[in-house]
């Protein structure tokens, strides 16, 4: 559940920091001025966002790969729009006064929660960092090449949405040099996603789930391009609705091969094995001892072997270093 919690903290934090991250675009001068005044009222949201960032870092230290770029972007934008004479002083003040201070509050809050449930003070993320980075024991759980996230991990979590993401990447690369697209959110989102993938690529141990926290940001990038296709050149509601239906049907049909394969074929061996064992145990209710001479975490155990009239003892290999 750590990756899910990290994803929630990152998604909610980015939503709360939308003005600080993406600026104010469009509208008349009066609307822009009103938006700037409204932006000043979002200080509380910004503080809460970095508290969430600290909570996420307390659970998984790798979330710093997303929150450090977020802090740098917020500090740069605030310094660029502030009236202070010293640009660097404004940057440092935002980094330490907003990002660092309230992020530290989130870490302290996470430690207090751990203290409540563990019964003693603990910082699990430090143990995670020491085990996986300092000692390098993460490779015991499997290794992949450095670019694995680019050619396997990211395409896998994106699925049929990958072409839209590549389209966004091309537009972000071209648009960030155009003064008229200064407030374009695409480069900002890629500035958060890219360091996250780069830092995780340094570790020898890689998993698909490690990229799930940035999937909501990827969906934002994809959604913008999908909206552009739906709007098209025709402004009529009927034409847009027709394109929307065609695109929805195309995405739905193209996902079915993955759905069938992942639901019925991929890694079905351990499930089929436990179904076979449970069927044999139901035929003759007595005490059983099952030895799993397989890799650790490679098969579900008691969740599939609860027999009402049988006593099942399971032995399996652990993941000790």
Mean pLDDT of 306-321: 78
- Listed in sequence order, the residues at least 6 apart from 12 whose beta carbon sits closer than 8 Å to its beta carbon are 49, 52
User: What average pLDDT does range 140-157 have in this prediction?
Assistant: 90
Confidence of residue 174 (pLDDT cuts 50, 70, 90): confident
Of residues 217 and 2, which shows the higher confidence score?
A: 217
Alpha-carbon distance values, 64 to 203, 267, 308 (Å): 15, 32, 47
Lowest pLDDT segment from 5-9, 157-161, 175-179: 175-179
How many angstroms separate the CA atoms of 54 and 73, rounded?
17
Residue pLDDT, tens place only, 220-248:
999 888 888 888 776 678 888 888 888 88
Q: Is the pLDDT of residue 113 over 60?
A: yes
| Tokens standing for residue 69 | 């770029």
DSSP 289: E
> Contact 86/56 with Cβ under 8 angstroms?
no
pLDDT at 112: 93
Q: Cα–Cα distance between 75 and 12 in angstroms, integer?
A: 19
Average of per-residue pLDDT values in the chain: 84
CA distances from 87 to 78, 91, 179 (A): 9, 6, 21
Containing 263, the helix (H) or strand (E) segment is: helix 237-264
**Alpha-carbon distance 87 to 92, whole Å?**
9
User: 2-28: per-residue pLDDT in tens?
Assistant: 889 999 999 999 999 888 787 654 444
Banded pLDDT at 72 (limits 50, 70, 90): very high
177 pLDDT exceeds 60? no
| Length of the chain, in residues | 321
pLDDT of residue 67: 94
Mutual angle of helices 2-16 and 215-231, in 10-degree steps: 50
pLDDT bin (cut points 50, 70, 90) of residue 37 is low
Tokens found for residue 213: 């926290």
pLDDT at 215 over 90: yes
CA atoms within 13 A on the CB side of 291: 1
> Distance between terminal CA atoms of the chain?
23
Rounded Cα–Cα distance for residues 145 and 299 (Å): 26
Residue 299 pLDDT exceeds 70 = yes
Please tell me the predicted confidence (pLDDT) of residue 14.
92
pLDDT over 80 at 308, yes or no: no
118-133 residue pLDDT tens: 899 888 888 888 888 8
Which of the residue ranges 59-68, 261-270, 297-306 would you say has the lowest mean pLDDT? 297-306
Average the pLDDT over each of 110-119, 207-216, 286-295 and give the range with the smallest value.
Answer: 286-295
Q: Which of 23, 76, 21, 17 is nearest to 52 (CA)?
A: 17
Model pLDDT, residue 280: 84
Q: Are 106 and 290 in contact (CB under 8 A)?
A: no
pTM: 0.81
What does the pLDDT read at residue 183?
A: 56
Q: What letters, b where the CB count within 10 A reaches 16 and e where it falls short, cover 251-272?
A: eeeeeeeeeeeeeeeeeeebee
Q: Which residue has the higher pLDDT, 39 or 203?
A: 203
- Cα 306 to its chain centre, rounded Å, is 34
Is it the case that residue 180 has pLDDT exceeding 50?
no
Q: Compute how many other C-beta atoms are within 10 angstroms of the C-beta atom of residue 150.
A: 13
């Amino acid at each position: 559940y750590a990756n899910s919690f990290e994803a929630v903290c990152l998604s909610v934090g980015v939503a709360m920091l939308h003005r600080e991250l993406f600026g104010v675009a469009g509208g008349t001068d009066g609307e822009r001025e009103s938006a700037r005044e409204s932006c000043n009222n979002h200080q509380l949201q910004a503080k809460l966002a970095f508290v969430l960032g600290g909570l996420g870092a307390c659970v998984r230290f790798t979330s710093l790969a997303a929150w450090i770029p977020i802090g740098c972007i917020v500090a740069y934008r605030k310094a660029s729009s502030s009236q202070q004479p010293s640009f660097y002083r404004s940057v440092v003040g935002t980094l330490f006064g907003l990002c660092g201070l309230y992020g530290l509050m989130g870490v302290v809050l996470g430690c207090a929660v751990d203290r409540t449930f563990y019964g003693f003070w603990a910082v699990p993320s430090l143990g995670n960092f020491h085990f996986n980075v300092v000692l390098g024991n993460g490779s015991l759980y499997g290794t992949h090449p450095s670019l694995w996230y680019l050619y396997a991990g990211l395409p896998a979590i994106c699925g049929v949405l990958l072409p839209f993401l590549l389209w966004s990447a091309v537009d972000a690369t071209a648009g960030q040099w155009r003064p008229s697209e200064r407030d374009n959110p695409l480069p900002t989102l890629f500035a958060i996603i890219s360091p996250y993938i780069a830092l995780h690529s340094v570790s020898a141990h890689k998993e698909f789930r490690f990229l799930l926290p940035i999937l909501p940001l990827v969906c934002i990038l994809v959604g913008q391009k999908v909206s552009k296709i739906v709007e098209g050149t025709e402004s009529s509601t009927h034409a847009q609705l027709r394109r929307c239906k065609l695109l929805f049907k195309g995405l739905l049909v193209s996902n079915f091969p993955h759905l069938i394969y992942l639901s019925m074929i991929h890694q079905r061996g351990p499930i089929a094995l436990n179904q076979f064992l449970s069927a044999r145990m139901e035929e003759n209710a007595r005490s059983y001892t099952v030895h799993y001479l397989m890799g650790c975490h490679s098969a579900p155990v008691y969740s599939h072997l609860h027999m009402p009239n049988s006593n099942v003892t399971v032995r399996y290999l652990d993941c000790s270093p």
